[in-house]
Amino acid sequence: MSTRQKSQGDVGRRDFLKLFGAAGAAGAAASALPLGGSASADDLMAATAADTKHHHGIAATEPHAGGSGYEFFNVDESAFIEAAVDTLLPSDSTGPGAKELGVATYIDRQMAGGYGKGDRLYLEGPFGEGTPEQGYQLPMTPSELIRAGIADANAFVQKTHKSTFDGLSAKDRAEVLADLEGGKVELPTVPTATFFGLLLQLTIEGYFADPMYGGNKDRAAWKMIGFPGADAMYMDKIEPFRNRPYKAEPKGIQDLI
């Protein structure tokens, strides 16, 4: 066995991402469109089956930071997205959930805007499947991918559970998402792992991005982890606060203008 083969067995792509995410030296992958079929055995996590209540809460028209209503999603899609983000990052004893922080609105705005429309995506053909190392090769923009994926996932749930996704119990929703993540479901239109990866990427982005993008309402996700946000000037603090907690009320960009 060559060194190269061995090394692949030792460490997966995800561990590499974690390392460099922690280093802050990198991390673009966290924001990249996910890679079709890239999930390794290490990535296949058991369903968390978190004890989350099914919140029948925020309606599509409830005001969010950045304005109310959905620009991109139709009612079925917004119901799916709200339920999905609520399952991916639920409200629990650790901190607020993605839904209550406006992450569905964040995703809607992203899909309606330049990113969703592929403003930085090379979309010329011919289109080939390629290897995982060659990255995203679909002829779809993120908004086309998410729309097709939601339709696929809803159809799958309708077939297996005779329900819409948002109509499922929290436990069942977590199981469906775990099946999508683990590749146990093959969606007819989009590669399952690519769709799930984009959904998770957008959810984490919306949770931690500046509140002006519609999520992270009241900077609650930053409060939860202790990130002070956009108000960042530490030249006189980095030394005195070595190994000492630094407590500051996080501020977003709009709080400072």
Window 128-167: residues binding other proteins (CB under 8 A): 128, 130-137
Question: Where does this chain touch other proteins (CB under 8 A) — which range of 53-61, 69-77, 145-153, 239-247?
Answer: 239-247
Give min distance, CB of 58 to other proteins, in A: 19
Q: Tell me, what amino acid is at 248?
A: A
Which alpha helices (DSSP H) does the chain contain, by range?
3-10, 13-23, 28-31, 75-88, 103-112, 142-161, 170-181, 192-208, 220-225
Does residue 250 contact residue 219 with C-beta atoms inside 8 Å?
yes
Using CB under 8 A, pick the residue from 65, 81, 83, 88 that binds other proteins. 88
Question: Where does this chain touch other proteins (CB under 8 A) — which range of 8-16, 75-83, 149-157, 159-167?
Answer: 8-16
* Secondary structure class of 91 (helix, strand, coil): coil
Question: Where does this chain touch other proteins (CB under 8 A) — which range of 55-63, 147-155, 160-168, 201-209?
Answer: 201-209
Distance CA 232, CA 192 (A): 39
In the window 89-108, what residues touch other proteins (CB under 8 A)? 89-90, 92, 94-95
Give the other-Cβ count within 10 Å of 96's Cβ: 19
Local structure of residue 34 (DSSP, 8 states): P
Q: Is 179 left (phi over 0), alpha (psi -120 to 50) or beta?
A: alpha
Give whichever of 158 and 237 is closer to other proteins, judged by the CB atom.
237
In the window 165-184, what residues touch other proteins (CB under 8 A)? 174, 177, 181
Give min distance, CB of 99 to other proteins, in A: 13
In the window 54-83, what residues touch other proteins (CB under 8 A)? none
Applying CB under 8 A, does 190 fall inside the site for other proteins? no
Using CB under 8 A, pick the residue from 80, 213, 217, 219 that binds other proteins. 213
In the window 11-50, what residues touch other proteins (CB under 8 A)? 11, 13, 15-33, 35, 38, 42-43, 45-48, 50
Tokens of 137: 């090769």
Using CB under 8 A, pick the residue from 66, 118, 167, 183 that binds other proteins. 118
Rounded to 5°, angle at Cα 150 from 145 and 154 = 150
Give min distance, CB of 203 to other proteins, in A: 8
Q: Is the dihedral of CA 17, 4, 41, 157 positive or negative?
A: positive
Local structure of residue 182 (DSSP, 8 states): T
Does residue 90 contact residue 126 with C-beta atoms inside 8 Å?
no
